[in-house]
Copies of this chain bind each other. A is one copy, B any other.
Amino acid sequence: MTIETSNLHIRQFSKHEHLARAGDPQRVVYKVQEGWACRYSVIPDGRRQITAIFLPGDFCEPQWLLAGKAQLPIIAITPMTVTEIPLENIYGQPGKGVQDLLGAMLEAFNRQTDWIVSLGRKSAKARVRDFLLELHRRLKVSGHVSAHRCTIPLTQQDMADVLGLTAVHLNRVLMDLRKSGAISLRGKTLSLGHNEHVQTGPATSGAPHMSIQPAREPMLA
């Protein structure tokens, strides 16, 4: 359902509804207002790998501007509210709109690079810890978090599919982290002990407020 509100198309998705399916032509990009979504692929044996998580404030997905279609399906993890950003209107004026999207694409790119490092070289425990800390960090930006506590609407199967683990093993790691103190996820509530903001790893995603840094002149000025 689409509603026009002062030049802003608002749209809702219900839990487990697809925002896009593989190959769908996309003439809009979504900006998430409320709720979580993810991009995933399913391999032949039926297992799933989640390859991106979309939180409030995120664009979904910037690269649709370039590709004109969704390569992979996006599904809502919770009920969602999004605004639609039409791509047609953006071509003519290569200004702030395009710049924002390309900057967001760069962020997403760097986040993927970090996940390759995580999946390739970190233990299950470190992956889980870093993932939860990253979620907490990203949620801060949109104010969905108090100092040491936030809500994670993912099931353990969802997290396992992000982290390249089985749900059973993820569960064991979560228990382990609880006993180790510091990080505990009970139900949907994530609690961080103190001193959990320390640098745990992202090499590229960098500072919370990363933006485009042109070599000389701003691109597309």
A59 contacts B by Cβ under 8 Å: no
CB neighbours of A204 from chain B (8 A): 41, 71-72
Give the docked Cα–Cα distance between A43 and B120 (Å): 11
Give the A interface residue count (CB, 8 A): 61
Please tell me if the beta carbons of A120 and B163 are within 8 angstroms of each other in the complex.
yes
Please tell me if the beta carbons of B109 and A217 are within 8 angstroms of each other in the complex.
no
Please tell me if the beta carbons of B66 and A217 are within 8 angstroms of each other in the complex.
no
CB neighbours of A206 from chain B (8 A): 71
CB neighbours of A90 from chain B (8 A): 219
Q: Which of A87-133 contact B (CB under 8 A)?
A: 87-88, 90-91, 94, 98, 102-103, 105-106, 108-110, 112-113, 115-117, 119-122
A-to-B contact residues, CB < 8 Å: 22, 25-27, 39, 41, 43-44, 47-49, 51-52, 63-69, 71-72, 87-88, 90-91, 94, 98, 102-103, 105-106, 108-110, 112-113, 115-117, 119-122, 161, 163-164, 201, 203-204, 206, 212-221
